[in-house]
């Protein structure tokens, strides 16, 4: 059986991992990487499908992602205020 000190150490280590995961999930770096990846994947698909102006059209889903992430923060605060 683990001692109290060992259990506390494990909880603190877990909290550090959770805080790191949360920081990554909300980071602008992650958002930027997703926007870039979305643009490349959608642009490549549209290009392969021979859609006119594939790289211009790939901007739309990338911007939609950005807009959704901006509005989700607001909606999350609103939801928490009503249900928290």
* pLDDT tens digits, 28-44: 999 999 999 999 999 99
What's the number of domains the chain is made of?
1
User: Helices (H), strands (E): how many in the chain?
Assistant: 4, 0
Q: Which domain holds residue 9?
A: 4-83
Position of tokens 């643009």? 39
Q: Which two tokens stand for residue 65?
A: 């992602």
What's the pLDDT tens digit per position in 33-81? 999 999 999 999 999 999 999 999 999 999 999 888 888 888 888 999 9
The pTM of the full predicted model, rounded to 2 decimals, is 0.74
What length is written for the chain?
84
- The Cβ of residue 3 has, within 10 Å, a number of other Cβ atoms equal to 8
d(CA 60, CA 62): 5
- The Cβ of residue 62 has, within 10 Å, a number of other Cβ atoms equal to 19
């Amino acid at each position: 059986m683990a001692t109290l000190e060992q259990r506390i150490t494990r909880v603190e280590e877990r909290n550090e991992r959770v805080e790191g995961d949360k920081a990554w999930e909300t980071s602008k770096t992650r958002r930027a990487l997703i926007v870039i990846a979305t643009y490349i994947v959608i642009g490549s698909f549209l290009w392969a499908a021979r859609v006119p102006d594939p790289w211009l059209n790939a901007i739309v889903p990338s911007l939609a992602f950005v807009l959704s992430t901006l509005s989700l923060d607001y909606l999350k605060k609103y939801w928490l205020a009503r249900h928290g």
